[in-house]
Amino acid sequence: METENKKILLVEDDPNFGTVLKDYLIMNDYDVVHAKNGMEGFEKFKKDDYDMCILDVMMPYKDGFTLAKEIRDKNEDVPIIFLTAKAMKEDVLKGYKVGADDYLNKPFDSEVLLMKIQAIMQRKSTESVADSKQFEFTIGGFHLNSKLRFLTYKDEEAIKLSPKENELLRLLALHLNDLMPRELALTKIWRDDNYFTSRSMDVYIAKLRKYLKKDINVEILNIHGEGFRLVVRSDES
Amino acid sequence: METENKKILLVEDDPNFGTVLKDYLIMNDYDVVHAKNGMEGFEKFKKDDYDMCILDVMMPYKDGFTLAKEIRDKNEDVPIIFLTAKAMKEDVLKGYKVGADDYLNKPFDSEVLLMKIQAIMQRKSTESVADSKQFEFTIGGFHLNSKLRFLTYKDEEAIKLSPKENELLRLLALHLNDLMPRELALTKIWRDDNYFTSRSMDVYIAKLRKYLKKDINVEILNIHGEGFRLVVRSDES
DNA sequence: TCATTTTGTTAACAATTGGTTAAACCCTAA
DNA sequence: TTAGGGTTTAACCAATTGTTAACAAAATGA
């Protein structure tokens, strides 16, 4: 199943900063949903389960603390990190009363944020199951070992995959039979989303299709303008 | 379960800063011994077991790097964090092949130090301690005695291994059939990760491959950009 | 329909990484 | 001090990987 990455709800009204931060977190293997204001943030929180919330405090209409209280009402445990514009002790305290796990003064070092996230995730999941990354997949008649970067078909000799081939196929496998958005692969694997990286990705899709030809029931479909879909048909014909 | 506090050796010549830092660490549940100079630091290190050393680099008489080397002579594993002046660049630091676990530029955020300490402690505790005691391995038709540094194939005469050959093969054997990352060997055996140590490692891989040729089912495979994999095939044909 | 955008595929190229051999450079024990 | 094992560096070549160009095909929308 796709219990792969930790899911973070990022609520930040500054679109530039929010996007940069989102991409940075995605690059570091988190699934990020970005809400542009408190209202939207709460809606998105209700609609899904998150492993962590990162809330900007200074937001129009509904500030981060108010949002945090609403979130706490729904979920007592989800870790909350506040992003504050200045070092304000009162506000910080107010934040902790809501049950915040940490706070960060803007501007902050993104590495520090990452470390805080990791530390909190660790703390929260000390008793829960080890969150080991998923490295092995069965794709029709194929077996993908993503750690050792090879793909085997039945008893044939393993096909060695390049890092990009491997990551792309893994991402497709994580979304098996479902849409794997172009943008996701580009931000996670290429760490950049532009014309050339997109074309490069297409090249890799072609390479993967060549490998996957051996099993007639396995196919990578394109969803025009959206992304790709790795499908496995059950072979009754 | 109440676990004992981790013990930290802090070597810092500035009495004010040292005291503040010591108190801060104590407040965060570490046992701290504060030495005021390199000499004293080494004396205290010899007298007790520490879970971590935090060394100021800029110290009179004996600088942090020199002290670190002495400490490494006594103990290969204890984590070391250097406190350096802001001006120092990474290449300068890497010149000192000591095997530091982290660096911090003064002045630093004490919270960052705390997080780094926690991260390193965590890493060290999850590193399989059992590994450090395993010295005998069966690798296909070979037997490796890593303590006596020799490799035997069936009944043939033992091949004597040099220290580096031995450590490298042992590390590969510990990860039998699995990835042994380049970086791991370089940090554990060479204690430095740069172009030349990497090339040196390749030379040793070539030497080991030559030894292992006797058994056609044993092979060292490369995973481009990642590391090596010692594989043993079961010989059925 | 036609024009435009998006995708599919191949090939050329540059850049990086690995394999091997041999020589140079250490140490340290005799 | 030198001889010799152990290790690093150099040199050269091979393999791997990723990007881009070029052109073809498919999808889309006015």
| pLDDT tens, position by position, B130-165 | 566 788 999 999 999 999 999 999 888 899 999 999
How many other C-beta atoms lie within 10 A of the C-beta of residue B44? 17
From chain A, the residues in CB contact with B179 under 8 A are 147-148
Residues B112 and B105 sit within 8 Å (Cβ to Cβ): no
The continuous run of DSSP H or E covering B126 comes out as helix B110-126
Mean pLDDT, chain A cut into blocks of 10 residues (237 residues total): 74 91 88 92 92 90 87 86 71 60 76 82 58 79 95 92 96 94 93 92 96 95 95 74
Q: E-strand spans in B59-172?
A: 80-85, 102-106, 136-139, 142-145, 150-153, 159-160
Model confidence at B178, pLDDT cuts 50, 70, 90, reads very high
Residues B144 and B171 sit within 8 Å (Cβ to Cβ): no
What does the pLDDT read at residue A1?
Answer: 41
Count helices and strands in chain B by DSSP H and E runs? 8, 12
Between helix B110-126 and helix A110-124 the angle, nearest 10°, is: 50
**Each residue of B181-218: b (16+ CB within 10 Å) or e?**
ebeebbeebbebbeeebeeebeebbebbeebbeebeeb
What does the pLDDT read at residue B23?
Answer: 95
Give all strands of the β-sheet with A159-160 in edge-to-edge order.
A136-139, A142-145, A150-153, A159-160
Please give the average per-residue pLDDT across B190-200, as a whole number. 92
Between helix A15-27 and helix A110-124 the angle, nearest 10°, is: 60
How many other C-beta atoms lie within 10 A of the C-beta of residue A102? 18
Report d(CA B205, CA B165) in Å as an integer: 8
Residues B117 and B52 sit within 8 Å (Cβ to Cβ): yes
From chain A, the residues in CB contact with B109 under 8 A are 112
Strand partners, B56: B83
What does the pLDDT read at residue A86?
Answer: 64
Q: Which two tokens stand for residue A74?
A: 């729904």
What backbone phi and psi angles, to 5 degrees, belong to A86?
-135, 170
Q: Which two tokens stand for residue A183?
A: 């943008």
Q: List C-alpha distances in Å: B205 to A213, B94, B148, B170, B179.
A: 36, 24, 20, 12, 14
What does the pLDDT read at residue A43?
Answer: 92
Residues B21 and B110 sit within 8 Å (Cβ to Cβ): yes
Residues B180 and B230 sit within 8 Å (Cβ to Cβ): yes
What backbone phi and psi angles, to 5 degrees, belong to A127?
-90, -25
From chain B, the residues in CB contact with A149 under 8 A are 223, 226
Tokens 């042992």 correspond to B170
Task: Enumerate the nucleotides of strand D whose atoms come under 7 Å of any protein CB.
Answer: 5-11, 16-22, 27-28
Please give the average per-residue pLDDT across B20-27, as a whole number. 94
What does the pLDDT read at residue A66?
Answer: 87
> pTM of the full predicted structure?
0.79
- Helix then strand then coil, % of chain A, to nearest 5: 40, 25, 35
Task: Enumerate the nucleotides of strand C whose atoms come under 7 Å of any protein CB.
Answer: 6-11, 16-22
Best mutation target among B1, B115, B126 (most A Cβ atoms within 10 Å) is B115
Report d(CA B146, CA B141) in Å as an integer: 16
Q: Which two tokens stand for residue B104?
A: 């911090």
B157 CA, D3 C1': separation in Å? Answer: 26
Residue B210, min C-alpha distance to chain A (Å):
23
Kindly report, residue by residue over B102-127, the tens digit of the pLDDT.
777 777 778 778 888 888 887 777 66
Is residue A149's beta carbon less than 7 angstroms from any atom in nucleic acid strand C? Answer: no
What does the pLDDT read at residue A75?
Answer: 86
Tokens 């540094």 correspond to B149
Report d(CA A34, CA A22) in Å as an integer: 7
Select the residue of A112, A147, A148 nearest B112 (Cβ to Cβ). A112
What's the mean per-residue pLDDT of chain B? 86
What does the pLDDT read at residue B229?
Answer: 97
What does the pLDDT read at residue B131?
Answer: 65
**Each residue of A220-233: b (16+ CB within 10 Å) or e?**
beeeeeebbbbbbe
* pLDDT above 80: residue B18: yes
Tell whether omega for the bond before B107 is within 30 degrees of 0, i.e. cis: yes
What does the pLDDT read at residue B101?
Answer: 73
Report d(CA A68, CA A59) in Å as an integer: 12
